Structure 1
Amino acid sequence: MIEPHAPAPPGSPPSWGGSGGPGGPGTSGGAPDGSDGPPGVSGGPPHGPGAPARLPVRPATGRFLVLAGVFVCAACGLVYELELVALASYLIGDSVTQASVVLSVMVFAMGLGSLAAKRLRRFAAAGFGAVEAVLALVGGSSAMVLYAVFAWTGGWGGLWADGPRFLLVAFSLAIGMLIGAEVPLLMELIQRVRRQDAGGAVADLFAADYVGALVGGLAFPFVLLPFLGQLTGALLTGTVNALVGAALVFGLFRRDMTRRARWLLLAANVVVLALLATATVLADDFERAARHAVYGQDVRVAVQTDVQEVVLTGEPDGRPLDLFLDGRLRVSGSDERRYHEALVHPAMSGPRARVLILGGGDGLAAREVLRHPDVRRVDVVELDPGLTRLARHDPGLSELNEHAYGDPRIHVTTADAFRRLRSTPTARYDVVISDLPDPGITASTKLYSQEFYGLLRRLLAPDGRLVVHAGPVAARTRAFWTVDATLRVAGLRTAPYRVDARDTGFAPGPDRTPATSRTPRDWGFLLAARETPELCLDPTAPRPHTLTSPALARDARSASRTRIAGLPPSTLVHPRY
């Protein structure tokens, strides 16, 4: 390799052999015969960090292409991070904890990767190509591997109780180290293209990196997730990552690598691309097989709506229907009537002309409300239109809710419950039914806050009643009584009660419960009003199938014995679930 006569000053391109050197002005050198070096000399790596690269293009063009590569690689890196966060939230639950674990481990690992990459600066081109190939394979396959472990190890229990979480941390650590290793290697490459002051080089590199991260961060929720899904989206991201990394190294810096390094890197990229392409082709079959492993063989509906994954299993004339939302068993056909009767009927003991249901897009709470002939209007506020569409048109689910959405008294609004209540003028509802997921699920926490219950109190008629599903009493006693404390601080009096599940518990706590789990549990409820409400069943109303007044009184006493006094309320800025 031809060395420059003297070091170039900061900010100026190096001079190769003077203005009349090989390749002429504006080129980065090379033998007249087009080989990697002077005649009779094979190409080799630079003799140390900072040695100018022998580019096939002008330095300005080479610098632009390196920054473009930084942009794409940064976008891919952020997609990997978001993919792990989303998958961990879906499969493990408690999205705040999972996001904190994934992001903190990845940032820590990026520091380790940057330190480790210092040893590769002498071979920056080959090192960067190898890092991108490994990152594409690890990041692109991460979603499929995690989903496979979840699906075929019987959920997260037993021997694998902590194994998948360790696997999540391992992927976060590996991907973070590889992303961190990119920065010093890219810094070395961009300086070899055209020497400039370190501050300017860092500014250019980080600008391209951060803008790429913005594009990747927006592409994940708005393009990859809704149109491709998690598995295919991650695999295609890995493919793009591998192609761009290989194109950058082979297109610009091939003369900085030995012939052996070029062939090894080419073989590695071919293997990586072949593996990712094969996995992409098989992704649909894999997802179906994994879904059957999780939910059983009778999956009838599996759709990813704009809000959540909705899976419906069972048959109308066979196994009872089960409804899973983001992997959590939300409705069990064999025991849902016991839950919904306990939720609705105690609140309907009194005036009930106007009823508001928050959540309940499956139509099952509405079914119980509509059994009362003196109900004139039922407003349902549901976030996911895909769920209400399924409840209207799926033969099994519509039969289970007794075609509630065909009743003219039902009026459905697709909206976030909190936002809807803030924008709703003061109304007067006789009954408000809060059929929302457990408060420990991050997305639901604001719907169990003092601020939210203050909005609900404004909507209640003077003698109106509010009933809240507050999660299991036995399993999450503190959370249950925190809901009670929050309602009281919002100006409402409460009457707690619980109902034991007979066959299969559903609507579990914030941690994901495997689809195969059939552990009995209870459901906890809080009946609230401006004055202390009487917990009873209206003898003039249609009689519930599974609930009696003596059983309700007994369940209320059982719940009261678990009371934890002195708990602070949950607020938007200080959630306590």
Structure 2
Amino acid sequence: MLELVVFLCGAAVMILEIAGARVLAPFLGTSTVVWTGLIGIVLASLSLGYWLGGKMADKRPSPRILGGVILLASLFTLGTALSKTLLLDFLITYSSGPHLAVIVANLVLFAPPSVFLGMVAPYAMRLKLASVGQAGRTSGNLYALSTAGSIVGTFAAGFVLIAFLGSTAILCLVAGLLAVTAVFASRADMAGKAATVLLIALCGAGFTAYDHTLAEEGFHDVDTRYSRILVFESRDPDTGEPTRVMLTHPKHIQSAIYLDRPLDLVLASTRFFTLADHFVPGAKRTLLLGGGAYSYPRRLLATNPEATIDVVELDPGVTELARAYFGLAENPRLRIFHEDARSFLNRNAGRYDVILGDIFNAHYAVPFHVVTRQAVQRIFDALNDDGVVIVNIIAAVSGKKGRFLRAVRATYADVFPTVALFPLGSPNDPEGMQNVMLVAKKNGPLPDALPKDPELALFVARRLATPLADDVPVLTDEFAPVERYVTAWW
């Protein structure tokens, strides 16, 4: 029984850690900073647990105490499932920097259950130890089983659980698994075991009913293979019209459609993409990096019968949501590639008139590996001679928060002869975060004439005339400190 207990607790540690990355991603991103904080805090917590477990086992070796330790790990895991959204929303609102938010989030959400799980192996070893002469073999066997459990938990979480369950459901599953393990570790009678199983079943039924109620109200909280996505109905803040939105971050809309006129584009950055025909008259072949709700491809195909578009979307779950809730339909002029944008660019042999970039992580920064000089060169090579690339960037125009924009602009200017920036936010707040559209042309200048559409003419008229500061280096695969530039924390 102790061997099984140690194995299951080892599996729980890694499931908790991998699910933890999914819990943090919508609020804090998936950057190196987030993974460093998560791994570091979990390792520190396990180390503390090993020390406490060994100390407690020498004083009071008892199966009931071991069961109590595992039960506490179960309760704290359940507490993480219930409190994660509230805590993380508070942290991103009031935290002074991402590093502090990452540390605090991991200390509160994942350190307590990790400490108690760390106590299990040394405590179980003390209970299992029959003689000093067998201490090495006993400890080696138990720690090997704990590690084997961690390996199984890693593959189970990464290959199976995340693909079929949401992060909340995974945390509840781990809590239930630990509760059952606690009962068996403490050698409780059959009545105690039956009561525990019943309680877990009731909790699972409650969460299932809650999710069903949300879905009936039009709110869909979905964990895909790569991220947590929210889909719900809202209203356009400017016109009051009903919309349906897709979010990968609680405070930022990734994609949206009007419910009454689904082909019209809601977001200004997406409407800017329609300037592609202004920059490259008669453009027929388009590549879009980042599908989202596929609002732009649907409009392009509906309004231009000669156009074809390839869309590279990393997450198949995003595409499925676009089909289910945003009107995406099969079209022979639309090809969808579910892979990383950089991988696609690396192997691409085709040529396009227009390439559009609309890829963001949870911090709303373009992932570093698609804005390095090597990636930009791939984009340059994928364009026809008169081709143009339009990239949506969220950054400040000036100040410390504008370093990311300056770095991306410098990188594109190192490859393209013509690069222009079009801020879409308030011109009175250059240090505020806003959508800035970067347009780079492979050959020749951008047209001087304004488009006939008043809004598009206004977009073009916002072309940034003031040169940006030359205070950051070109981004490369070797060195691209995107997280530092985006957070502007140091």
Query: What TM-score comes out, normalization by structure 1 length?
Result: 0.69
Distance across 1 between alignment mates of 2:209 and 2:382: 49
For residues 69-148 of structure 1, what are the structure 2 equivalents within 5 Å? 69-117=5-53, 118-125=55-62, 126-147=64-85
Taking a change above 3 Å as real, the CA distance of residues 133 and 565 of structure 1, as seen in their structure-2 partners, is: same
d(CA) in 2 for partners of 1:482, 1:339:
20
Aligned counterparts, 1:252-271, within 5 A: none
**1:235 equivalent among 151, 172, 182:** 172
Q: Which runs of 5+ in 1 are unaligned?
A: 1-64, 251-261, 503-519
Per the alignment, in what secondary structure is the counterpart of residue 411 of structure 1? strand
Name the SS of the counterpart of 1:67 in structure 2: helix
Cα 1:315–1:115, aligned 2, differ >3 Å: closer, same or farther? closer
Cα deviations by residue, 1:527-561 (Å, 9 ceiling, x for unpaired): 1133464165675xxx546221x55233423xx45
Matches within 5 A, 1:418-457: 418-425=342-349, 427-437=350-360, 440=363, 444-457=367-380
CA contact (8 A) 2:366 2:393 kept: no
438-447 vs 229-238, which moves further: 438-447
In terms of Rg, which structure is larger?
Answer: 1
Q: 1:208 to 1:449 in 2, by over 3 A?
A: same
Selected match of 2:461 from 529, 540, 553: 553
Verify: 1:564 aligned to 2:466, yes or no: no
Relative to structure 1, the CA distance from residue 389 to residue 131 in structure 2 (aligned partners, 3 Å threshold; closer, same or farther) is: closer
Q: Structure 2: how far apart are the matches of 1:465 and 1:438?
A: 24
> What is aligned with 2:226?
307
Compared CA separation, residues 490 and 231, structure 1 to 2 (3 A): same
Cα 1:457/1:169, change in 2 over 3 Å: same
What secondary structure sits across from 2:420 in the alignment?
A: strand
Specify the code of the residue in structure 1 equivalent to 2:231: L
Residue matched to 1:180: 118
Deviations 1:268-325 (A, max 9, x none): x888766544432211344567x69xxxx96354443333333332279962222213
For the residue of structure 1 that corresponds to 2:435, the secondary structure is strand
Task: Give, as a single letter, the amino acid of the residue that structure 1 aligns with 2:171.
Answer: A
**Is the contact between residue 430 and residue 460 of structure 1 (CA under 8 Å) also seen in structure 2?**
yes
Instruction: Please state whether the residue corresponding to 2:119 is helix, strand or coil.
Output: helix
**Equivalent residue letter for 1:350:** V
Cα distance in 2, alignment partners of residues 442 and 355 from structure 1 = 23
Q: Is the 8 A contact 1:127 1:185 kept in 2?
A: no
Contact preservation (8 Å) 1:128, 1:185: yes
Partner in structure 2 of residue 527 of structure 1: 439
1:336 match: 266
| 1:158 Cα deviation after fit | 5.9
1:195, CA displacement in angstroms? 4.8
C-alpha displacement of 1:432: 0.9
Pairing 1:345–2:282 present? no
Query: Cα deviation per residue 1:496-528 (whole Å; 9 max; x = unaligned)?
Result: 1211279xxxxxxxxxxxxxxxxx963111111
SS across alignment from 1:320: strand
- Quote the Cα distance in structure 2 between the aligned partners of 1:442 and 1:481: 13
Alignment partner of 1:495 is 2:420: yes
How much has 1:216 moved relative to structure 2?
0.6
Measure how far apart 1:464 and its partner are: 1.4
Change over 3 Å in CA distance of 1:312–1:174 after alignment to 2: closer
Per the TM alignment, residue 131 of structure 1 is displaced from its structure 2 partner at its CA by 1.0
**CA distance 1:284–1:429, change in 2 (3 Å):** same
Indicate the residue corresponding to 1:378 in structure 2.
Answer: 309
- Matched with 2:390 is 467
Tell me the equivalent position of 2:262: none
Which residue in 2 is equivalent to 1:279?
Answer: 203
> What is the deviation of 1:79?
1.5
**Structure 1 residue aligned with 2:488:** none
Q: What is aligned with 1:21?
A: none
Q: Work out whether 1:206 is the aligned partner of 2:143.
A: yes
Partner of 1:57: none
Identify which range, 411-420 or 272-281, moves more after superposition: 272-281
What percentage of aligned pairs have identical amino acids? Answer: 19
RMSD: 3.7
Where does residue 333 of structure 2 map in the other structure? 409
SS of the residue corresponding to residue 556 of structure 1 reads: coil
How far apart, in 2, do the equivalents of 1:343 and 1:439 lie? Answer: 22
Show CA shifts across 1:447-497 (max 9, x none).
222222122122111221111112233494111111112223345541112
Deviations 1:221-265 (A, max 9, x none): 322223232222222222222322432442xxxxxxxxxxx79xx
Residue identity opposite 2:348 in structure 1: T
* Corresponding residue to 1:364 among 270, 295, 299: 295
How many Å separate the matches in 2 of 1:75 and 1:107? 15
Q: Is the 8 A contact 1:465 1:533 kept in 2?
A: no
1:222 is aligned to 2:134: no
Asked if structure 2 preserves the Cα contact closer than 8 Å seen for 1:101 and 1:169, the reply is: no
Q: Supply the AA of the counterpart residue of 1:219.
A: A
1:437–1:424: structure 2 CA closer, same or farther, 3 Å change rule? same
Please tell me whether the aligned partners of residues 482 and 568 of structure 1 are also in contact (alpha carbons under 8 angstroms): yes
Q: Residue 410 of structure 2 corresponds to which residue in structure 1?
A: 485
Q: Residue type of the partner of 2:172?
A: L
2:342 & 2:461 partners in 1: Cα distance? Answer: 32
Amino acid aligned to 2:280: G
Q: In 2, Cα distance between the equivalents of 1:159 and 1:470?
A: 23
Q: Which residue of 2 aligns with 1:27?
A: none
SS class of match (1:524): strand
Tell me the secondary structure at the aligned position of residue 29 of structure 2. Answer: coil
- Work out whether residues 75 and 175 of structure 2, in 8 Å CA contact, stay in contact via their aligned partners in 1: yes
CA contact (8 A) 1:357 1:378 kept: yes
Contact persistence 1:346–1:535 (CA under 8 A): no
